[in-house]
Amino acid sequence: MSNSLQAVHNIPEICAQLGITDVVLSPGSRCAPLTIAFARHPAITVRTVPDERAAAFIGLGLAQAQRRAVALVCTSGTAGLNYAPAVAEAFFQQIPLVVFTADRPPEWIDQLDGQTIRQTDLFGRHAKGSFTFPADTSHPDAGWHAARLVSEAVNLAQQFPAGPVQLNVPLREPFYPKPDEELAFGPVKVTRELPGRPQLPAATLRELRDTLHDTARVLVVSGQHPAEVPLRLALREFATAWQVPVVGDLIANLHQPAATGHNQHPRFTGRQDVFLTVPEPGLKDALRPELLITFGQSLISKALKLYLRQHRPAQHWHIQQAGPVADTFQSLTQVIRMEPADFFAALSAENEDIHGLTESVALPAPTEPGRNVLPPDATRVAPRPRLNWSAPAEADTAKAAYLRPWLAAENWATGLLAGFMQRADQPFNEFTTISRALQQLPDGAALHLANSMAVRYANILGLPAGHGAEVFANRGTSGIDGCTSTTVGAALAQPARPVVLFTGDVAFFYDRNAFWHNYPTPNLRVILLNNHAGGIFRIIDGPRQQPELEEFFETRQLLTAANTARDFGLRYFPISSFTELEAALPVFFAPEGGAALLEVFTDSKTNAEFFEQYRTFVRTSL
């Protein structure tokens, strides 16, 4: 065996020693040495997915679920370009991917050789780094260089903030070992990185505590974040100690029960998409923060983003251990380089400055949407709850007086949603379908939300109180191109966990190759909202008012998923009414039976009209 091929065969050994256990590859000839080396390594699970775009998103789903780096392997030419959407998503969502792109040797680039493009730095600034493997490793120094580059690439992918890296591997023929030739893995030199956790000096913590003590109107906002018990517990303690409201979308994963088994923290607010759309200036003024504390990544809620840009706080602290920080609300004044859990724990530790601030703000328990709806012959709408946000109690501290309207608005919005969604006179529509599906979602499921309306519906509705689902969405770039493939990757990563996808027809049919592989996913459940169009364009302002709506924005199609379900062995549930939905959901979600697809057929115009009824109901509710 040549020294060059031995250096290539050492790649999986380095990956394995640095914690990579899963590889997703797409077949090709130029990548054969990489394919064979990874396939024969005893510590690595290799899966083959022919479509590189789907393969990359499946790898992203594996990495997201397992919270460790996953490797991708493809052949030369345009194969690597098909990784680009998933690489960009991984970059902005901070998910570690190590992308191995096989390539022609450098002397054959731009020489009209087949399946050859310019692959160096293929993903540009959407990768954390780009490395080029030596084309010739016959010299011992070149072999050392090759091993060092692999260690650097894997370490960089996993270094906070995590993300994708590319390692371009030029390969010369012969690509294949002889029939009786065994591959040797190592010994090989590996460089490891040990993660650290930055802490703030005691004097700085005292300054931050003093600011918190002297500021009445403090608001915490979480962007997208994985579910982490230490963070939720630290945030619960912080919010209690300082009487602070905590706001986050569903993808912030702050709704989950704490480790003690209690329901979500009573100061957590997730209905901002409801109460911030109410045209009531007094409420907006009451909710305005003086100090905003943020952590995590992107927000779904446009209402919250616009509100904080229009009602900017005097101070805005963002908590992030390392990496670039976005000024999303145009108010950033301070970046605090810590893990969010460590920050909130440090500032809620025993301190005489916060004694006396821990009185609770008592409010009625919120009314949660239930599993039962009004009887079929009912025509009434549940009475609208009143929002008493402007009536602080006499004993309120200044901090409690600010907390109270946030909790009152959350409680009011929850009751309002419950009343509206239980209307008996509503037509069959996708908004109510998502509401009822959420009520029957298996506890502890991994819930994936496709972009466009599925993620927006779920964010408005939220999960039942105390539900333990972890929520995922490709909100790094908010594209539709790999939502199904990412979910498939999660199902492969955690075969014992229910993995559920809510998706629309455009996202689903765009990504049908997510199922084009040979690996069972009996834990996968897909709810497909098929309105035969890009229904979001009937709901958002701008396109819905244009005469070109149907042809150039909605792009209507007549497809159904019946053939897809048959081709890939998915149990299939076609649904066209609430009666069919209620009968199907328990069977669909049951753990036995294998992977399933529930296709909900609705009318795009009806969906838009019902959603407009909801918005009008909220706007006129005070």
Tell me phi and psi for residue 316, to 5 degrees. -140, 115
Residue 361: predicted pLDDT: 52
Residue 150: predicted pLDDT: 97
CA atoms within 13 A on the CB side of 231: 17
CB atoms within 10 A of CB 85: 21
The tens digit of pLDDT for each residue in 293-340 reads 999 999 999 999 999 999 999 999 999 999 999 999 999 999 999 999
CATH assignment of 430-619, given 2.30.30.100, 3.40.50.970, 3.20.20.140, 1.10.3720.10? 3.40.50.970
Tokens of 332: 């950033």
Residue 556: predicted pLDDT: 76
Q: Tell me how far apart the 2 most distant CA atoms of the chain are, in Å.
A: 86
Confidence (pTM): 0.91
- Nearest residue to 102 via CA among 116, 84, 91: 116
Q: Which are the contacts of 500, defined by CB distance < 8 A and separation ≥ 6?
A: 441, 442, 445, 446, 447, 448, 525, 526, 527, 589
The whole-angstrom separation of Cα 86 and Cα 55 is 9
Hey, is 276 helix, strand or coil? coil
Q: Considering the domain delimited by 202-404, tell me its CATH architecture.
A: 3-Layer(aba) Sandwich (3.40)
String of DSSP letters for 137-186: --SHHHHHHHHHHHHHHHHHHHSSSP-EEEEEEE--S--S--TTPPP---
| Chunked mean pLDDT (size 10), the chain, 622 residues | 78 97 95 95 97 98 97 96 97 98 90 88 96 91 93 97 97 82 84 88 94 96 96 94 96 73 66 93 94 97 96 97 94 97 89 45 46 35 66 73 94 93 91 97 96 94 90 95 97 97 96 97 98 70 66 75 97 98 98 96 93 92 79
Is there a common fold for 3-170 and 202-404? yes
Residue 380: predicted pLDDT: 43
String of DSSP letters for 333-386: -EEE-S-HHHHHHHHTSS-GGGTT-------PPP----S----TT----PPPPP
- CATH fold of 3-170, please? Rossmann fold (3.40.50)
The whole-angstrom separation of Cα 262 and Cα 256 is 9
Answer whether 32's CB lies under 8 Å from 169's CB: no
Tell me phi and psi for residue 591, to 5 degrees. -65, -25
The whole-angstrom separation of Cα 588 and Cα 579 is 14
Residue 178: predicted pLDDT: 79
Q: Where are the domains of the chain?
A: 3-170, 202-404, 430-619
Residue 533: predicted pLDDT: 78
CB atoms within 10 A of CB 124: 11
The tens digit of pLDDT for each residue in 1-38 reads 556 688 999 999 999 999 999 999 999 999 999 999 99
Phi-psi map region of 462: left, alpha, beta (phi>0 left; psi -120 to 50 alpha): left
- Strand arrangement of the beta sheet that strand 470-473 belongs to: 470-473, 446-449, 499-504, 524-530, 596-601, 571-575
Residue 538: predicted pLDDT: 63
Residue 444: predicted pLDDT: 93
The whole-angstrom separation of Cα 245 and Cα 547 is 44
Residue 465: predicted pLDDT: 82
Residue 463: predicted pLDDT: 93
